[in-house]
Structure 1
Amino acid sequence: MKDNSIAIIDLGSNSIQFAIYQIENNLVKTEEAKRVKVAARLISYVNSQGNITREGIDFTLQILKEFKKHGEESGVNRIIGFATAVIRNAANKEDVLAEIQQETGIPFSILSGYEEAYFGFLGIIQATDLQDGITIDIGGGSTEITLFRNRQMVEYHSFPFGAVNLNDQFTKGENVTAQQTERLQAYLVEQLQTLPWLSKAGLPVIGIGGSAKNLSRIHKAKCKKNSLNMSIQDIHHVYEELSSLSVTERANIKGLSKKRKDIIIPAVQIISILMEMTQSPYFLYCTQSVRDGFIYNLIEKTNNAS
């Protein structure tokens, strides 16, 4: 089989991403051969009725059409897309998907909470040799956590909160107050305690996605080490510094994307509480993503069908 390529569009709550994968002999040849990302923050276009607004739909269609054009110019053989929490939870999700199909012709599916968690786990398993661990993927509007043992996912949960909607609910504003962070912490502890399998698991926590990446980059810039492993104390130090600064001041933190400076506090807080609750020995950022798990699963299904 000659080389071919597939473009995956990941329509998330905080960003919309386009990634091209090269396929050779029914295997993913590389990680992402090319990636384009737009920080669309589609979750901010959800109205009080739970519908994605006309403005949000039009903005999404504009981005998808640009991605389709980019894919055609790059000579990809196939473009497929998936949506996560922002579309999954929208009251008008069927209408949005129908309009995407009509306007772009790109086949889109909505990932369930299980699929989003599983594909994140699958991406991590492909990239590490860890036998046991806990995975976390903090999106804009959902957070997926899994427990794996002997490289098999044995538990999972998808929470309907992420960095963007937690910030809107608890920490919005130029300066975060102690009262805000205390309310956020109490809420997150209450939520995570609903998963008894997390208690004192004593396993590494592996994070994927933009929030985990930014946390790791901040730490790396500070300690100037190649090791990406972070202790709970390392995470506390990052959190204390970030929460002491205004949103504007956070723009000067090395390793922190300016597009995440307003939503990083809730994300770091989730990881911090998860580390404490599980008594984890360390946190590790993994460069793989839900997209990687999605493409691995797609290729595996294709191979099994042939």
Structure 2
Amino acid sequence: MRYAAIDIGSNAVRLLIADIIENQGSVSFKKTTLIRVPLRLGDDAFLNHYISDKKSLDLVKSMQAFRNLMDVYKVKDYMAFATSAMREAKNGAKVVKLVKDEANIDLEIIQGQKEAKIIYASHAEQNIDKNKNYLYVDVGGGSTELSLFSNGELFASKSFNVGTIRMLDNQDKEETWNELRDFIRENTKTFKGILGIGTGGNINKLFKLSEEKSDQPLSFNKLKALYNYLNSFSLKDRINVLGLNQDRADVIIPACEIYLTVMKWANIKNIYVPSVGMVDGIIQTLIEKNFTKAG
């Protein structure tokens, strides 16, 4: 049996197709296909609060391709969620209808709180010591989701309109940064020795560049050194010399800034980087929906 997850973010849209594995009462999944298309809906949404006809058409074409792949793979169930960019676009509902009419995909625009909950559902924390305190940080193109948990229990969770595309377009606001800082300080003051868990395409790329062993965390100092190293190259050289994808080479700098800022405010010295994200959380949500219902 196969499920599919579609994540329509501010920087890229993703399709994950996964095989569902049932084994002695437990249900897990194995990723079979992951496709990422760098549409950059955030450029329209954050500057004009509107998704242009060209971007809408590109989105529809991508969704038609995703629909065809889901049909060929005989996907049994799927969920498609749109996040920050579509939340801010005044014509978001119109684009949702267009996707339904042209690609036969039911797309839901979700609020930041639900986005944080789905990302948290990816179970990135399951191989980590439950007795410790963790701040889960997911940085996207339009927003940053924070979830704090202690002893395996979710303690506080919030979404902030601070993201990589938003920063590149100078659409991040000082009051939002202040809200982020206040949330971190207020919710972490009673916890000692908080560890970070970082998700998102940028932190995964940064982790690869760090050449750390997969089960080891990335230290604040190493991340800061990586940031300084990447920042010493021009955008062109980050693409040509370092070999970064064009749509990664610019956003990786503001992403670094967000992770470093959050780590500094929360006094986090190390951040774990499991390679999961929104699409993994969607598959997990589908499993919980279908198997809890079946049970």
**Residue of structure 2 equivalent to 1:277:** 265
Q: Secondary structure at the match of 2:105?
A: coil
1:139 Cα deviation from its structure 2 partner: 0.7
Match of 2:210 among 194, 219, 228: 219
Alignment identity in percent?
26
Higher strand share: 2
- The 1:303/1:191 distance shift into structure 2, 3 A limit, reads same
Q: Kindly tell me: are residues 113 and 277 of structure 1, through their superposed partners in 2, closer, same or farther at Cα, counting changes over 3 Å?
A: same
Say whether the 8 Å CA contact 2:47–2:169 is kept in structure 1: no
Given that residues 8 and 81 in structure 1 are in contact (C-alpha distance below 8 angstroms), is that contact kept between their aligned partners in structure 2? yes
Deviations 1:133-179 (A, max 9, x none): 01111111111011011212111111112111112218xxxxxxxxx
Which letter does structure 1 place at the counterpart of 2:19? Q
The answer (yes or no) to whether the contact 1:43–1:140 under 8 Å persists in 2 is yes
Query: Once the 2 structures are TM-superposed, how far is the Cα of residue 200 of structure 1 from its aligned partner?
Result: 7.9
**Residue pair 1:49, 1:91 contacting (<8 A) in 2 also:** no
Q: Structure 1 45/284 Cα, relative in aligned 2: closer, same or farther at 3 Å?
A: same
CA contact (8 A) 2:160 2:180 kept: no
Amino acid at match of 1:284: Y
Change (3 A) 1:10 1:48: closer
Which residue does the alignment assign to 2:8?
11
Q: CA deviation at 1:75?
A: 2.4
The separation in 1 between residues aligned to 2:241 and 2:264, in whole angstroms, is 25
Structure 2 letter corresponding to 1:209: G
For these two proteins, the number of residue pairs brought into alignment is 287
Report if the CA contact (8 A) 2:18-2:29 is conserved: yes
1:26-41 correspondence to structure 2 within 5 Å: 28-41=27-40
String of CA shifts for 1:208-230, please: whole Å, max 9, x gaps. Answer: 1101111111111xxx6555412
Given the superposition, is the C-alpha separation of residues 48 and 251 from structure 1 closer, same or farther in structure 2, using an over 3 Å criterion? closer
In structure 1, which of residues 261, 265, 272 is the aligned counterpart of residue 253 of structure 2? 265
Report SS of the residue matched to 2:141.
Answer: coil
More divergent stretch after superposition (151-160 vs 192-201): 192-201
Cα drift, residue 186 of structure 1: 7.5
Aligned to 2:92: 93
Equivalent positions of 1:33-182 (< 5 A) are: 33-46=32-45, 49-125=48-124, 127-131=126-130, 132-169=133-170
Give the direction of change, closer, same or farther, for the CA distance of 1:64–1:302 in structure 2 (3 Å limit).
same
**Distance change (3 Å), C-alpha of 1:76 and 1:186:** closer
In structure 2, relative to structure 1, the CA distance for the partners of 1:90 and 1:185 (3 Å cut) is: closer
One-letter amino acid of the counterpart of residue 250, structure 2: D
Q: Output the CA distance in 2 between the equivalents of 1:278 and 1:37.
A: 31
Q: Partner of 2:98: helix, strand, or coil?
A: helix
Q: 1:233 corresponds to which residue?
A: 221
Task: Encode CA deviations 1:233-268: one digit per residue, 9 max, x unaligned.
Answer: 111101111222211122256584442111111110
Q: Distance in 2 between matches of 1:128 and 1:185?
A: 36
Q: Aligned partners of 2:87 and 2:252: how far apart in 1?
A: 23
Contact residue 27 and residue 299 of structure 1 kept, 8 A? no
Contact 1:147 1:153 in 2 (8 A): yes
CA contact (8 A) 2:134 2:197 kept: yes
State the distance in 1 between where 2:116 and 2:40 align.
21
Indicate how the Cα distance of structure 1 residues 31 and 288 shifts in structure 2: closer, same or farther if over 3 A, else same.
farther
Q: Is the 8 A contact 1:13 1:140 kept in 2?
A: yes
Tell me the distance in 1 between the aligned counterparts of 2:244 and 2:179. Answer: 27
Partner Cα separation in structure 1 for residue 100 and residue 214 of structure 2: 44
With the length of structure 2 as denominator, give the TM-score of the two structures: 0.88
Counterparts of 2:203 and 2:15, CA distance in 1 = 19
